[in-house]
Chain A
Amino acid sequence: MNDVAIAGVAQTGHESRKDNMIYADMVFDVVTSALEDAGLTLDDIDSVVTVSNDFLDGRTISGMAVGDASGGQDKNISTVEGDGTFGAFYGLMRVLSGYGASIVVAHSKGSECDIRYVTNGMFDPIYQRLLGIEAISASAMQAGEYMQRYGVSEEQLAAVSVKNHGNARNNPYAHLPMDISIDDVMKSRPIADPLKKLDCGPVSDGAAAIIIASPEIAAKATSTPVWVKGVAHCAEDYMIGDRDLAVPVALKDAARRAYDMAGIKNPAEELDLVELYDAFSYMEPLWLEGLGLAEAGKGMSLLEKGVTTMEGSLPVNPSGGVLSSHPVLVAGLVRIIESVLQLRGQAGERQVKNATSALAHGINGPCGQSHCVWILNKDK
């Protein structure tokens, strides 16, 4: 891949209800901050990609409603309806096709609607939607399948929630920094078995923006550039009954292609940190298996051996992950932003020492139907 840099990043704090900002205010804030972070101006930008969902926003063509706030006035602006990592992929492709720099900005306010109606709407209207199925129940079935297949217990998965809520204590942007125990997770309210309240990420309000730049624009920027070394995404079957929910085949494919592009032979050795989309506690070990960092069914062993803790050789979700902050759609872009901050050495209390190479990951669709994998590096 030709050289492409991430030159600027910004996010809002993620919280349960932002009553002082409408969508456009959040978008304006993060776009302004990302430009400031990069030391660039709107004149350096010739491509804008917004990320939003019409049902979440309660308006059609929701991207256009933040056109002005995103810096898209008189520019080539387009929208991705999906996770922020996929929006960033589109922004990246535009730079690779000759644009100088893309702003990619994602926003969502879960507080303004009932997310269950929105995720119910992603299922087939004839065969599935009338059953009331939505993201949490579908994920609970995936968790059950994974646990049954490999003999993983609820207590084991609770440790992921303890780690990630704990990591969030060092992240000023996190929605739910928490000092909790496995017992707290086990005693939290049952939602959909085996998932309990503390196995589930919250639904947050938030926004995030990044600036993806050609080497020429990156050279103008005053920030330390982080380079995109590999990126790929892949999707599997639409109907959840067609899938083997305990084996994330789309993630395996996306990871393999992203590693190949980045020239990574041994990801466990060559990566310094991973930021993945852990909307539910079980997702962390399952996605680690998909990423080839653990064998099938052995994802939990990495945490149990201390590998994925802040002190381990491959910290996973130093930010606290999606379990502690879940602005839907924005959350994938936040994984990229956290990776950039880590590689720049700007992650404050949660800084991973000597971080050179990071993996950021996002998902779309029920139970991780599609996955997007980014490999980022300090060096070109």
Chain B
Amino acid sequence: MENWKDTVEIITQEGQIAVPYTWWVGDTGSRFLMALRDEKKILANRCSECGKVYVPPRKNCGQCFVDIDDWTEVGPEGTVETFTIVHFNYPVQPVKAPFAYVLVKLDGADVSLLHLVRDDIEKLGKGSRVVARFSENRTGSILDIDSFQVIEGK
């Protein structure tokens, strides 16, 4: 049978969905990002029903289905729960590979915070102690924490 590609040129169309968004962060999130930006503090909040300390803080506890308004500070040190060393690049990553993603249980928190490690990634292991390093220029974003630094080896 004749191959259609012999007589038809394959034409492609390039495009992208590029929609600008301006997300309101809300009162709970704004308070968290303000503390990162202005005080280099990591704020969390505690559910009054189950006692779980959430970071980033939540307006409501999904388990207990109640409002949360009991604020507390956590970190800046914490323990690595799990991690991965990333070997590929694509433009959304804020750093060049190799770098590591970590889920860090900050001291005083009951859930883990997702962030990244730039340096000493070969020293990372489950249970590694890490500390938040804040950015010089802070704008009220999760990237006001530049990265986590390893403070103990495996």
Residues of A within 8 A of B (CB): 19-20, 54-55, 58-60, 114, 116-117, 120, 125-134, 136-138, 140-145, 148, 189-195, 237-242, 245
Contacts and interface: CB of A to CB of B under 8 A. Distances in A.
Contact of A131 (B81, B84, B111, B115): B115
A141 B111 contact: no
Contacts of B93: 131-132
Interface in B112-150: 112-116, 126, 141-143
A129 B142 CA distance: 9
B114 A133 contact: yes
B16 interface: yes
Contact of B88 (A143, A148, A191, A238): A191
A130 B21 contact: no
Contact of B142 (A126, A144, A192, A245): A126
B90 A125 contact: no
A363 B142 CA distance: 28
A140 B54 CA distance: 23
A131 B116 contact: yes
Contact of A137 (B15, B84, B112): B84
B4 interface: yes
Nearest to B103: A241
A137 B126 contact: no
Interface in B72-114: 81-88, 90, 92-95, 101, 103, 111-114
Contact of A237 (B4, B62, B85, B142): B62
B17 interface: yes
B23 interface: yes
Question: Interface centre among B10, B17, B84, B114, by most A CB within 10 Å?
Answer: B84
Contact of B143 (A130, A138, A194, A241): A130
B25 interface: yes
25 contacts: A54-B17, A58-B15, A58-B16, A58-B17, A116-B92, A117-B90, A125-B23, A126-B56, A130-B94, A130-B142, A131-B93, A131-B115, A133-B114, A134-B90, A140-B84, A140-B101, A145-B82, A145-B126, A191-B87, A192-B86, A192-B88, A238-B62, A239-B56, A242-B112, A245-B103
A368 to B, nearest CB: 15
B88 to A, nearest CB: 6
Contact of A245 (B54, B82, B116): B82
Contact of B84 (A125, A129, A141, A242): A141
Given A126-B29, A148-B82, A132 B112 contact: no
Given A58-B15, A141-B83, A142-B82, A239 B111 contact: yes
Nearest to B99: A132
